[in-house]
Amino acid sequence: MTVAQLVAEAEGLLAAGQRAEAIAACRRALAIQPDCLPAHVCMARATLPGDDYLAHLRRFHETLRPGVYVEIGVDAGRTLSLARPPTRAIGVDPAAREVGVDFAADTRLFPLESDAFFAAEAEEALAGDPIDLAFVDGLHLCEQALRDFIHVERHAARDSVVLFHDCLPLDRATASRTRRTGFWTGDVWKIVPVLARYRPDLEIFVVPAYPTGLFVVTRLDPSSTELAGRFDSIVAEFSPREWDDAARDPAFPIIANEWAAVGERLAAGRPTSGRSPARRS
């Protein structure tokens, strides 16, 4: 069979509810053409059924009603536009643009790399308020995801929530540090075992939402220096690791892809004793 025929077969199997068979057909197509985007998309839909990450991100906004929302990696603004008043939304992306996007919330765009934003603009942009909700979807490398978390946590509160995209790759090819496929997560997934090992005080869980999962972190500690102090050694330890298609890291606390399960875990994990102020740089 040709690649196109295998993809068509996979899509038909998925439509019939035969997810395992659809994944197998996708793998056969990818064995012939490793960078076959339709096969990767079909495989992702079969592997991660249910609501996608946009549906969950919208519910995080509706449930938390964050005073300040920060998004790292804005692209065309689709996710940033989910913020609603009275939220103040801040988008950080070197290529940030507003073309074709209507922002309902009070929104500011910073066409900067995230490190530069936190070094020079964060204090003024936040105006003394903590980051209540952050969505990290920037450079797809583990060290940048780790730096972004360190920056966000320093400006957060105990009950703030940080979300990461691209934490559930399909296979080793899509999870590599060097991009070789159109469907690509990079090695952002390593942020999950990093936080599980070095910050057991955090509450973490993974929602298996299409297309590449959503990693949720709360119970933050703005005064923590653990990750910043160990940054170089953590990067040296985790950078060489590769995704294991057969055995997912046991540090991945995956829950059901249902908002009831997400909301229950979120309510149980967030502190209820009041807010601590954001720590200034």
Query: What is residue 245's predicted lDDT score, i.e. its pLDDT?
Result: 72
pLDDT surpassing 90 at residue 59: yes
CATH number of domain containing 131: 3.40.50.150
Query: What is residue 280's predicted lDDT score, i.e. its pLDDT?
Result: 37
In a domain, 278, yes or no: no
CA gap 96, 72 in Å, rounded: 10
| pTM score of the predicted model | 0.93
Q: Are residues 27 and 106 in the same domain?
A: no
Domain, as residue range, for 173: 53-269
Query: What is residue 273's predicted lDDT score, i.e. its pLDDT?
Result: 46
Round the CA-based radius of gyration of the chain to a whole number and report it.
Answer: 19
Q: Are residues 41 and 64 in the same domain?
A: no
Q: What is the pLDDT of residues 43-56, one digit of tens each?
A: 999 999 999 999 99
Q: Are residues 263 and 142 in the same domain?
A: yes
Residue 34's pLDDT band (cuts 50, 70, 90): very high
Which residues, including other chains, have CB under 8 Å from residue 101's CB and lie 6 or more apart?
76, 77, 78, 80, 81
SS3 call for 19: helix
Which residues, including other chains, have CB under 8 Å from residue 6's CB and lie 6 or more apart?
25, 26, 28, 29, 32, 39
Query: What is residue 276's predicted lDDT score, i.e. its pLDDT?
Result: 47
**pLDDT, average across residues 232-256:** 86
Taking the CA of residue 89 as centre, how many other CA atoms within 13 Å lie in the half-sphere pointing to its CB? 25
Q: What is the tally of structural domains in the chain?
A: 2
Residue 244's pLDDT band (cuts 50, 70, 90): confident
- Residue pair 150/231 in contact (Cβ under 8 Å)? The answer is yes
Query: What is residue 277's predicted lDDT score, i.e. its pLDDT?
Result: 43
Q: Which amino acid is at 175?
A: A
Mean pLDDT rounded to a whole number for the chain: 92
Q: Are residues 71 and 190 in the same domain?
A: yes
% of the chain beyond a pLDDT of 70: 93
In a domain, 275, yes or no: no
CA gap 218, 212 in Å, rounded: 20
Q: What is the pLDDT of residues 149-201, one digit of tens each?
A: 999 999 999 999 999 999 999 999 999 999 999 999 999 999 999 999 999 99
Tokens found for residue 53: 């990450």
Q: What is the pLDDT of residues 260-271, one digit of tens each?
A: 999 999 998 888
Residue pointed to by tokens 């068509």: 8
Q: Are residues 154 and 260 in the same domain?
A: yes
In a domain, 281, yes or no: no
- Residue pair 27/236 in contact (Cβ under 8 Å)? The answer is no
Q: Are residues 36 and 162 in the same domain?
A: no
Q: Are residues 230 and 244 in the same domain?
A: yes
Q: Are residues 138 and 93 in the same domain?
A: yes
Q: Are residues 150 and 15 in the same domain?
A: no
Q: Are residues 19 and 148 in the same domain?
A: no
Q: Are residues 62 and 14 in the same domain?
A: no
Query: What is residue 232's predicted lDDT score, i.e. its pLDDT?
Result: 97
Q: Are residues 60 and 173 in the same domain?
A: yes
